[in-house]
Amino acid sequence: MDGERPDYIVVEGPIGVGKTSLATRLAESFESDLLLEGADENPFLERFYQDPRSGALPAQLFFLLQRARQMQDMRQADMFRPVRVADFLIEKDRLFAELVLDAEELRLYEQVYEHVTIDAPVPDLVIYLQAPEDVLLKRIAKRGIRYERKIEAAYLRRLSEAYMRMFHYYEAAPLLIVNAGQIDLVNNDEDYAALLEQIHANNTGRQYFNPVSAVI
């Protein structure tokens, strides 16, 4: 696949790392369909951040059903093979569930998961964005979503570690691991152009993109 544009790109990473913004810009560059997870559509998300104990299970089940429906829609339309960019993997759902649910809730979640999980399309490329917790907190504060003010560094640390574990073993699709802590892939054209070059140059196996931007 050297030199080819991937038909289905997924951008992933912890909260605040910039995956939705990057996915949006990639979709514009490739003139492609954009598939977003729609966190603002989850009516239980604010409750989760205010009271994780009572809000975790309904928030997680909503995301699971939402993502499964989106994957089903994509699978049904796959005959047309349009270029697509998404800001989530279906595999992330279990990652969050294991992080926020207690043992009994997780058993219930897994029962639902087994019934609704579908044969999701495999991406041609997964872009995994990484950044330190302090950078994530600054970016979360900058975007100013009210209910995200409750997010703490300890939660982001656990989430980042869970992502690292997941992608350490991930082999389903080519993986590009991006150190996004000191670059701006949305507002810095040089950073973005360098990423595009990496995407086009080689999207097989496991690759690393670790630039240092002139603008931090």
**So which residues are the catalytic ones?**
87
Q: Which two tokens stand for residue 187?
A: 């507002």
Q: Which two tokens stand for residue 15?
A: 């909260």
